Amino acid sequence: MEHVYSIQEITGIIKTLFEEHFTSLRIAGEISNCRPSSTGHLYFTLKDEKAALQAVMFKSRAWTLGFEPQDGCKVIVSGALSVYEQRGSYQIIVETMELAGEGAILRMLEERKRKLAQEGLFDQERKRPLPFFPLRIAVITSPTGAALRDIITVLSRRNSAVSITVLPAPVQGAEAAPVLVRQLETANRYKLGDIIIIGRGGGSLEDLLPFSEEAVVRAVAASDIPVISAVGHEIDWALTDFAADVRAPTPSAAAELAVPVLDDITDTIAAAQSHLLHYMSARIQQVRLMTKTFTPDTLEMQFRRIEQPLLMRLDDAKEHLLHNMQTRLTDAKHRLALLSQSIESANPQSILERGYAIVYDRQTGTVLRHAQDVSAGSKLRIKVADGEIYAEAEASI
Protein backbone atom coordinates (compact mmCIF):
# COMPACT_ATOMS: atom_id res chain seq x y z
CA MET A 1 0.00 0.00 0.00
CA GLU A 2 1.10 3.61 -0.62
CA HIS A 3 2.93 5.11 2.40
CA VAL A 4 1.07 7.77 4.30
CA TYR A 5 3.36 10.58 5.54
CA SER A 6 2.83 12.56 8.69
CA ILE A 7 3.13 16.32 8.58
CA GLN A 8 6.31 16.09 10.59
CA GLU A 9 7.80 13.55 8.19
CA ILE A 10 7.11 15.50 5.04
CA THR A 11 8.23 18.74 6.64
CA GLY A 12 11.43 17.06 7.80
CA ILE A 13 12.12 15.77 4.30
CA ILE A 14 11.59 19.25 2.85
CA LYS A 15 13.82 20.76 5.56
CA THR A 16 16.57 18.26 4.77
CA LEU A 17 16.34 18.98 1.03
CA PHE A 18 16.40 22.75 1.53
CA GLU A 19 19.20 22.85 4.06
CA GLU A 20 21.40 20.43 2.10
CA HIS A 21 21.01 22.00 -1.35
CA PHE A 22 20.49 25.72 -0.64
CA THR A 23 23.31 26.47 1.78
CA SER A 24 24.72 29.55 0.00
CA LEU A 25 22.45 31.84 -2.02
CA ARG A 26 22.46 35.44 -3.25
CA ILE A 27 18.96 36.79 -3.74
CA ALA A 28 17.85 40.22 -4.98
CA GLY A 29 14.54 41.68 -3.88
CA GLU A 30 12.67 44.52 -2.24
CA ILE A 31 12.29 44.75 1.54
CA SER A 32 8.72 44.65 2.79
CA ASN A 33 7.16 44.47 6.27
CA CYS A 34 10.53 45.14 7.96
CA ARG A 35 10.19 44.40 11.70
CA PRO A 36 13.26 44.89 13.93
CA SER A 37 12.70 42.98 17.18
CA SER A 38 13.48 44.12 20.70
CA THR A 39 16.26 41.52 20.85
CA GLY A 40 18.06 43.06 17.86
CA HIS A 41 17.03 40.48 15.27
CA LEU A 42 15.66 41.76 11.97
CA TYR A 43 12.56 40.11 10.40
CA PHE A 44 11.37 41.15 6.93
CA THR A 45 9.97 39.91 3.62
CA LEU A 46 11.86 39.88 0.35
CA LYS A 47 9.60 40.25 -2.68
CA ASP A 48 9.57 40.93 -6.37
CA GLU A 49 6.69 41.36 -8.83
CA LYS A 50 5.56 37.71 -8.59
CA ALA A 51 6.71 36.15 -5.32
CA ALA A 52 7.73 36.75 -1.69
CA LEU A 53 10.22 35.11 0.66
CA GLN A 54 10.43 35.41 4.45
CA ALA A 55 13.83 36.47 5.79
CA VAL A 56 15.55 36.90 9.13
CA MET A 57 18.87 38.49 9.98
CA PHE A 58 20.07 37.76 13.47
CA LYS A 59 21.52 40.40 15.77
CA SER A 60 25.11 39.16 15.41
CA ARG A 61 24.92 39.99 11.68
CA ALA A 62 22.50 42.91 11.68
CA TRP A 63 24.81 45.21 13.66
CA THR A 64 27.40 45.11 10.84
CA LEU A 65 25.06 46.78 8.33
CA GLY A 66 26.22 50.12 7.01
CA PHE A 67 22.66 51.35 6.39
CA GLU A 68 19.21 51.10 7.98
CA PRO A 69 16.95 48.59 6.16
CA GLN A 70 13.53 50.06 5.38
CA ASP A 71 10.47 49.01 3.43
CA GLY A 72 10.99 49.65 -0.26
CA CYS A 73 14.79 49.26 -0.19
CA LYS A 74 16.10 47.09 -2.99
CA VAL A 75 18.79 44.83 -1.62
CA ILE A 76 20.92 41.80 -2.37
CA VAL A 77 21.16 39.31 0.48
CA SER A 78 23.31 36.21 0.91
CA GLY A 79 22.53 33.30 3.17
CA ALA A 80 20.99 29.84 3.43
CA LEU A 81 17.40 28.54 3.21
CA SER A 82 15.87 27.09 6.33
CA VAL A 83 12.47 25.47 7.11
CA TYR A 84 10.48 26.51 10.18
CA GLU A 85 8.74 23.21 10.91
CA GLN A 86 6.15 24.49 13.42
CA ARG A 87 4.64 26.78 10.79
CA GLY A 88 5.42 24.72 7.76
CA SER A 89 7.14 27.72 6.13
CA TYR A 90 10.60 28.35 4.78
CA GLN A 91 12.82 31.43 5.01
CA ILE A 92 16.31 32.63 4.26
CA ILE A 93 18.75 33.15 7.11
CA VAL A 94 20.57 36.31 5.95
CA GLU A 95 24.33 36.54 6.53
CA THR A 96 25.04 39.74 4.57
CA MET A 97 22.92 42.44 2.97
CA GLU A 98 23.82 45.28 0.61
CA LEU A 99 21.87 47.83 -1.34
CA ALA A 100 21.20 46.62 -4.87
CA GLY A 101 23.08 48.61 -7.48
CA GLU A 102 25.16 50.46 -4.91
CA GLY A 103 26.79 47.24 -3.78
CA ALA A 104 28.63 46.75 -7.06
CA ILE A 105 29.68 50.39 -7.09
CA LEU A 106 30.96 50.19 -3.54
CA ARG A 107 32.99 47.09 -4.35
CA MET A 108 34.49 48.86 -7.34
CA LEU A 109 35.31 51.94 -5.23
CA GLU A 110 36.90 49.86 -2.49
CA GLU A 111 39.06 48.06 -5.04
CA ARG A 112 40.10 51.37 -6.61
CA LYS A 113 40.75 52.84 -3.18
CA ARG A 114 43.07 49.97 -2.26
CA LYS A 115 44.94 50.30 -5.54
CA LEU A 116 45.53 54.05 -5.20
CA ALA A 117 46.39 53.72 -1.51
CA GLN A 118 49.08 51.17 -2.36
CA GLU A 119 50.60 53.73 -4.74
CA GLY A 120 50.85 56.20 -1.87
CA LEU A 121 48.34 58.74 -3.20
CA PHE A 122 46.54 58.87 0.16
CA ASP A 123 49.64 58.98 2.41
CA GLN A 124 49.47 61.50 5.21
CA GLU A 125 53.00 62.68 4.39
CA ARG A 126 51.69 64.10 1.10
CA LYS A 127 49.20 66.38 2.84
CA ARG A 128 50.11 70.07 2.93
CA PRO A 129 48.85 72.71 5.34
CA LEU A 130 46.52 75.34 3.93
CA PRO A 131 47.94 78.88 3.71
CA PHE A 132 46.73 80.95 6.65
CA PHE A 133 45.66 84.01 4.63
CA PRO A 134 44.93 83.08 0.98
CA LEU A 135 44.21 85.97 -1.36
CA ARG A 136 42.54 83.90 -4.11
CA ILE A 137 40.32 80.83 -4.01
CA ALA A 138 39.77 78.69 -7.13
CA VAL A 139 36.44 76.84 -7.05
CA ILE A 140 35.83 73.89 -9.40
CA THR A 141 32.15 72.98 -9.40
CA SER A 142 28.92 73.44 -11.31
CA PRO A 143 28.27 77.14 -12.01
CA THR A 144 24.55 76.66 -11.41
CA GLY A 145 24.65 74.42 -8.33
CA ALA A 146 23.77 75.31 -4.77
CA ALA A 147 27.32 74.37 -3.72
CA LEU A 148 28.81 77.36 -5.54
CA ARG A 149 26.27 79.74 -4.00
CA ASP A 150 27.05 78.40 -0.54
CA ILE A 151 30.81 78.75 -1.07
CA ILE A 152 30.54 82.33 -2.37
CA THR A 153 28.20 83.30 0.47
CA VAL A 154 30.49 81.93 3.17
CA LEU A 155 33.68 83.36 1.63
CA SER A 156 32.12 86.80 1.22
CA ARG A 157 30.84 86.77 4.80
CA ARG A 158 34.11 85.64 6.32
CA ASN A 159 36.53 87.69 4.23
CA SER A 160 35.40 90.03 1.48
CA ALA A 161 39.04 90.77 0.58
CA VAL A 162 39.50 87.29 -0.90
CA SER A 163 38.92 86.98 -4.64
CA ILE A 164 37.09 83.96 -6.07
CA THR A 165 37.82 82.32 -9.42
CA VAL A 166 35.14 79.91 -10.61
CA LEU A 167 36.20 77.14 -13.00
CA PRO A 168 32.89 75.67 -14.20
CA ALA A 169 32.56 71.93 -14.63
CA PRO A 170 29.72 69.38 -14.74
CA VAL A 171 29.62 67.43 -11.50
CA GLN A 172 27.79 64.27 -12.59
CA GLY A 173 27.56 62.12 -15.65
CA ALA A 174 30.14 60.62 -17.98
CA GLU A 175 31.36 64.02 -19.23
CA ALA A 176 32.16 65.33 -15.71
CA ALA A 177 35.49 63.59 -14.95
CA PRO A 178 37.48 64.85 -18.01
CA VAL A 179 36.35 68.43 -17.37
CA LEU A 180 37.23 68.22 -13.67
CA VAL A 181 40.73 67.02 -14.58
CA ARG A 182 41.14 69.78 -17.17
CA GLN A 183 40.05 72.48 -14.74
CA LEU A 184 42.45 71.21 -12.06
CA GLU A 185 45.29 71.39 -14.59
CA THR A 186 44.20 74.89 -15.66
CA ALA A 187 44.11 76.16 -12.09
CA ASN A 188 47.65 74.90 -11.51
CA ARG A 189 49.04 76.01 -14.86
CA TYR A 190 47.90 79.63 -14.47
CA LYS A 191 48.12 79.79 -10.65
CA LEU A 192 44.48 80.79 -10.37
CA GLY A 193 44.32 80.42 -6.60
CA ASP A 194 46.21 79.87 -3.38
CA ILE A 195 43.71 77.11 -2.55
CA ILE A 196 41.50 74.96 -4.79
CA ILE A 197 38.04 73.87 -3.63
CA ILE A 198 36.62 71.01 -5.71
CA GLY A 199 33.24 69.47 -5.00
CA ARG A 200 29.47 69.55 -5.29
CA GLY A 201 26.34 69.21 -3.19
CA GLY A 202 24.81 65.94 -2.07
CA GLY A 203 23.44 63.23 -4.32
CA SER A 204 23.24 59.51 -4.84
CA LEU A 205 26.32 57.32 -4.97
CA GLU A 206 26.06 57.30 -8.77
CA ASP A 207 25.86 61.10 -8.85
CA LEU A 208 29.10 61.40 -6.88
CA LEU A 209 31.04 58.91 -9.03
CA PRO A 210 32.97 61.52 -11.11
CA PHE A 211 34.85 62.55 -7.95
CA SER A 212 36.03 58.95 -7.51
CA GLU A 213 37.24 58.52 -11.09
CA GLU A 214 40.91 57.53 -11.14
CA ALA A 215 41.94 60.40 -13.41
CA VAL A 216 40.31 62.97 -11.12
CA VAL A 217 41.87 61.46 -7.99
CA ARG A 218 45.31 61.47 -9.61
CA ALA A 219 44.87 65.09 -10.72
CA VAL A 220 43.96 66.11 -7.16
CA ALA A 221 47.00 64.29 -5.77
CA ALA A 222 49.28 65.89 -8.39
CA SER A 223 48.09 69.45 -7.75
CA ASP A 224 50.80 71.92 -6.76
CA ILE A 225 48.13 74.06 -5.10
CA PRO A 226 46.60 72.71 -1.85
CA VAL A 227 43.19 71.15 -2.53
CA ILE A 228 40.07 70.95 -0.36
CA SER A 229 37.66 68.17 -1.37
CA ALA A 230 34.04 69.03 -0.57
CA VAL A 231 31.83 66.35 -2.08
CA GLY A 232 28.24 65.95 -0.91
CA HIS A 233 27.04 66.10 2.65
CA GLU A 234 28.73 64.79 5.79
CA ILE A 235 27.76 61.14 5.22
CA ASP A 236 28.84 61.20 1.56
CA TRP A 237 32.36 60.43 0.44
CA ALA A 238 34.49 60.22 -2.69
CA LEU A 239 38.04 59.14 -3.39
CA THR A 240 39.09 62.77 -3.85
CA ASP A 241 38.50 63.13 -0.09
CA PHE A 242 41.48 60.83 0.51
CA ALA A 243 43.77 62.39 -2.11
CA ALA A 244 43.08 66.02 -1.20
CA ASP A 245 45.11 67.90 1.39
CA VAL A 246 41.94 68.56 3.41
CA ARG A 247 38.51 66.92 3.34
CA ALA A 248 35.51 69.13 4.11
CA PRO A 249 32.15 67.57 5.04
CA THR A 250 30.22 70.13 2.94
CA PRO A 251 31.00 72.90 0.43
CA SER A 252 30.12 75.50 3.08
CA ALA A 253 32.56 73.89 5.49
CA ALA A 254 35.22 73.98 2.77
CA ALA A 255 34.80 77.75 2.48
CA GLU A 256 35.12 78.08 6.25
CA LEU A 257 38.32 76.01 6.24
CA ALA A 258 39.78 77.98 3.35
CA VAL A 259 39.76 81.48 4.81
CA PRO A 260 39.82 82.94 8.31
CA VAL A 261 37.33 85.57 9.43
CA LEU A 262 38.70 88.97 8.44
CA ASP A 263 37.31 90.65 11.57
CA ASP A 264 39.06 88.09 13.77
CA ILE A 265 42.36 88.77 12.01
CA THR A 266 41.86 92.53 12.34
CA ASP A 267 41.10 92.15 16.04
CA THR A 268 44.16 89.94 16.50
CA ILE A 269 46.41 92.47 14.73
CA ALA A 270 44.97 95.32 16.78
CA ALA A 271 45.51 93.40 20.01
CA ALA A 272 49.08 92.54 18.99
CA GLN A 273 49.73 96.19 18.09
CA SER A 274 48.41 97.38 21.44
CA HIS A 275 50.49 94.79 23.29
CA LEU A 276 53.63 95.76 21.33
CA LEU A 277 53.14 99.49 21.99
CA HIS A 278 52.56 98.83 25.69
CA TYR A 279 55.68 96.65 25.89
CA MET A 280 57.83 99.20 24.04
CA SER A 281 56.58 102.02 26.30
CA ALA A 282 57.39 99.99 29.41
CA ARG A 283 60.88 99.18 28.12
CA ILE A 284 61.58 102.82 27.24
CA GLN A 285 60.48 103.89 30.74
CA GLN A 286 62.72 101.24 32.26
CA VAL A 287 65.70 102.43 30.21
CA ARG A 288 65.04 106.01 31.22
CA LEU A 289 65.05 105.04 34.89
CA MET A 290 68.29 103.14 34.42
CA THR A 291 70.06 106.01 32.61
CA LYS A 292 68.73 108.69 34.97
CA THR A 293 71.64 108.17 37.42
CA PHE A 294 74.30 108.51 34.71
CA THR A 295 74.80 112.32 34.83
CA PRO A 296 78.13 114.06 34.05
CA ASP A 297 78.68 114.60 37.79
CA THR A 298 78.22 110.97 38.74
CA LEU A 299 79.55 109.25 35.64
CA GLU A 300 83.18 109.33 36.87
CA MET A 301 82.12 108.02 40.29
CA GLN A 302 80.18 105.19 38.64
CA PHE A 303 83.25 104.39 36.56
CA ARG A 304 85.52 104.44 39.65
CA ARG A 305 83.22 102.03 41.42
CA ILE A 306 83.61 99.65 38.54
CA GLU A 307 87.35 100.31 38.11
CA GLN A 308 88.47 100.16 41.78
CA PRO A 309 87.91 96.44 42.40
CA LEU A 310 89.69 95.62 39.16
CA LEU A 311 92.71 97.80 40.08
CA MET A 312 92.90 96.17 43.50
CA ARG A 313 92.87 92.75 41.95
CA LEU A 314 95.62 93.87 39.56
CA ASP A 315 97.80 95.18 42.44
CA ASP A 316 97.31 92.02 44.45
CA ALA A 317 98.23 89.91 41.44
CA LYS A 318 101.35 92.03 40.82
CA GLU A 319 102.52 91.76 44.45
CA HIS A 320 101.91 88.04 44.46
CA LEU A 321 103.84 87.66 41.21
CA LEU A 322 106.81 89.69 42.49
CA HIS A 323 106.89 87.73 45.75
CA ASN A 324 106.88 84.44 43.90
CA MET A 325 109.64 85.63 41.58
CA GLN A 326 111.79 86.80 44.52
CA THR A 327 111.32 83.49 46.32
CA ARG A 328 112.22 81.53 43.22
CA LEU A 329 115.30 83.75 42.64
CA THR A 330 116.56 83.23 46.21
CA ASP A 331 116.10 79.47 45.91
CA ALA A 332 117.97 79.48 42.61
CA LYS A 333 120.90 81.46 44.09
CA HIS A 334 121.15 79.09 47.03
CA ARG A 335 121.17 76.03 44.81
CA LEU A 336 123.77 77.67 42.54
CA ALA A 337 126.06 78.32 45.50
CA LEU A 338 125.78 74.72 46.63
CA LEU A 339 126.57 73.47 43.15
CA SER A 340 129.53 75.84 42.85
CA GLN A 341 130.89 74.64 46.19
CA SER A 342 130.50 71.02 45.11
CA ILE A 343 132.27 71.68 41.83
CA GLU A 344 135.05 73.65 43.53
CA SER A 345 135.68 70.93 46.09
CA ALA A 346 136.06 68.42 43.29
CA ASN A 347 138.62 70.61 41.37
CA PRO A 348 142.03 68.83 41.24
CA GLN A 349 143.89 72.12 41.59
CA SER A 350 142.10 72.85 44.84
CA ILE A 351 143.09 69.40 46.11
CA LEU A 352 146.74 70.04 45.22
CA GLU A 353 146.66 73.40 46.99
CA ARG A 354 145.61 71.60 50.16
CA GLY A 355 148.99 69.74 50.13
CA TYR A 356 148.25 66.73 48.01
CA ALA A 357 150.34 65.65 45.00
CA ILE A 358 149.92 63.40 41.96
CA VAL A 359 152.72 60.89 41.21
CA TYR A 360 153.30 59.72 37.62
CA ASP A 361 155.56 57.05 36.16
CA ARG A 362 157.78 59.24 34.06
CA GLN A 363 158.31 56.63 31.39
CA THR A 364 154.68 55.50 30.93
CA GLY A 365 152.87 58.59 32.17
CA THR A 366 150.68 56.38 34.38
CA VAL A 367 149.34 57.76 37.63
CA LEU A 368 150.77 55.72 40.51
CA ARG A 369 148.16 54.97 43.16
CA HIS A 370 149.79 52.13 45.12
CA ALA A 371 153.30 51.68 46.63
CA GLN A 372 153.72 48.33 44.94
CA ASP A 373 153.41 50.07 41.56
CA VAL A 374 156.91 51.59 42.22
CA SER A 375 160.21 49.68 42.23
CA ALA A 376 163.70 50.84 43.17
CA GLY A 377 165.13 53.03 40.48
CA SER A 378 161.75 54.05 38.99
CA LYS A 379 161.82 57.55 37.62
CA LEU A 380 158.94 59.62 38.91
CA ARG A 381 157.21 62.90 38.04
CA ILE A 382 155.42 64.48 41.01
CA LYS A 383 152.86 67.20 40.35
CA VAL A 384 152.25 69.69 43.17
CA ALA A 385 150.11 72.84 43.35
CA ASP A 386 152.66 75.18 41.79
CA GLY A 387 154.77 72.87 39.60
CA GLU A 388 156.38 69.44 39.08
CA ILE A 389 159.19 67.54 40.81
CA TYR A 390 161.29 64.87 39.10
CA ALA A 391 162.63 62.13 41.35
CA GLU A 392 163.99 58.59 41.43
CA ALA A 393 162.62 55.95 43.81
CA GLU A 394 165.04 54.23 46.16
CA ALA A 395 162.60 51.57 47.25
CA SER A 396 158.90 50.94 47.89
CA ILE A 397 157.56 50.01 51.30
Q: Based on the domain organization, do 265 and 254 belong to the same domain?
A: no
- Is the pLDDT reported for residue 297 higher than 70? no
Q: Report if residue 24 sits inside a domain.
A: yes
CA distance 266 to 125: 33
Buried b / exposed e over 75-92, threshold 16 CB at 10 Å, is bbbebebbbeeeeeebbb
Q: Report if residue 331 sits inside a domain.
A: no
pLDDT tens digits, one per residue of 82-130: 888 888 888 999 999 887 776 667 778 888 999 999 999 999 999 999 9
* DSSP-derived secondary structure for 97-165: EEETTHHHHHHHHHHHHHHHHHTTTT-GGG--PPPSS-SEEEEEE-TTSHHHHHHHHHHHHH-TTSEEE
Q: Based on the domain organization, do 114 and 231 belong to the same domain?
A: yes
Q: Report if residue 343 sits inside a domain.
A: no
Q: Based on the domain organization, do 128 and 175 belong to the same domain?
A: yes
Q: Report if residue 339 sits inside a domain.
A: no
Q: Based on the domain organization, do 22 and 139 belong to the same domain?
A: no
Cβ burial of 209 (10 Å; 0-12, 13-18, 19+) is buried
Over range 51-63, report the average pLDDT: 90
pLDDT tens digits, one per residue of 26-40: 999 988 899 888 888
Q: Based on the domain organization, do 248 and 121 belong to the same domain?
A: yes
Q: Based on the domain organization, do 248 and 295 belong to the same domain?
A: no
pLDDT tens digits, one per residue of 251-269: 999 999 999 998 888 888 9
Over range 219-244, report the average pLDDT: 94
Q: Based on the domain organization, do 168 and 287 belong to the same domain?
A: no
CA distance 133 to 203: 32
- Is the pLDDT reported for residue 237 higher than 60? yes
Which domain covers residue 267, as residue numbers?
Answer: 261-303
Q: Based on the domain organization, do 123 and 241 belong to the same domain?
A: yes
Q: Based on the domain organization, do 175 and 299 belong to the same domain?
A: no
Q: Based on the domain organization, do 254 and 371 belong to the same domain?
A: no
Q: How many domains does the chain have?
A: 4
Closest Cα to residue 54, out of 5, 18, 104, 16?
18
Over range 72-90, report the average pLDDT: 85
What strands lie across the sheet with 379-384, from one edge to the other?
358-361, 379-384, 387-392
Q: Based on the domain organization, do 117 and 239 belong to the same domain?
A: yes
For residue 196, count other CB atoms closer than 10 A to its CB.
Answer: 27
Is 379 in contact with 390 (CB distance < 8 Å)? Answer: yes
pLDDT tens digits, one per residue of 118-171: 999 999 999 999 999 999 999 999 999 999 999 999 999 999 999 999 999 999
Domain containing 169 — which CATH number? 3.40.50.261
Q: Based on the domain organization, do 253 and 115 belong to the same domain?
A: yes
Residue where a domain terminates, one of 100, 115, 136: 100
3-state secondary structure of 238: coil
CA distance 66 to 341: 114
The number of CA neighbours under 13 Å toward the Cβ of 264 is: 8
Q: What is the pTM of this model?
A: 0.52
